[in-house]
Amino acid sequence: MLRNLIIISFIWAVIILIVSGLPGESLPNPGVFWFPHLDKFVHMGLYFPLAFFLIAEFALSKNTFLKKFGIIVTLMIVFLYGGSIELAQEHLFVDRSAEWGDLLSDIIGGSLGISFYYLIGRRLFRR
């Protein structure tokens, strides 16, 4: 059954794609809020909610495979989606480039989203 969480995950994935596809010169200048590797924290912040809503959907699913392997499936989705966007930034998007560090930040953000669900979020979604 398709629930709101999977729809929220899809909408968030579209937002990630749009933000990642913006030309480099159109990205806002953080000004005084800039610090080294700020973009890595942005990547983590983008993939945190994606993983959080995906793992919540999988954990609440009636599908025993998703219940059992939801963490692995979520991490695979984050890895494949983040990797695909990095490739698109390198080859399709204007004034963007791919970085291994960005993909690693995507995976860290996804892992934090999963952890947050199991530490805190699971209580919010109890039936």
DSSP letter (8 states) at residue 123? H
Overall pTM > 0.85:
yes
How far apart CA 16 and CA 20 sit, in angstroms, is: 6
Q: Which residue has the tokens 């953000």?
A: 109
pLDDT tens track, the chain, 127 positions: 446 889 999 999 999 999 998 886 666 666 656 656 678 999 999 999 999 999 999 998 889 999 999 999 999 999 999 999 999 998 988 778 888 999 999 999 999 999 999 999 888 876 5
Single-letter code of the amino acid located at 78: V
Give, for 58, the enclosing helix (H) or strand (E): helix 38-60
List the domain boundaries for the chain: 38-124
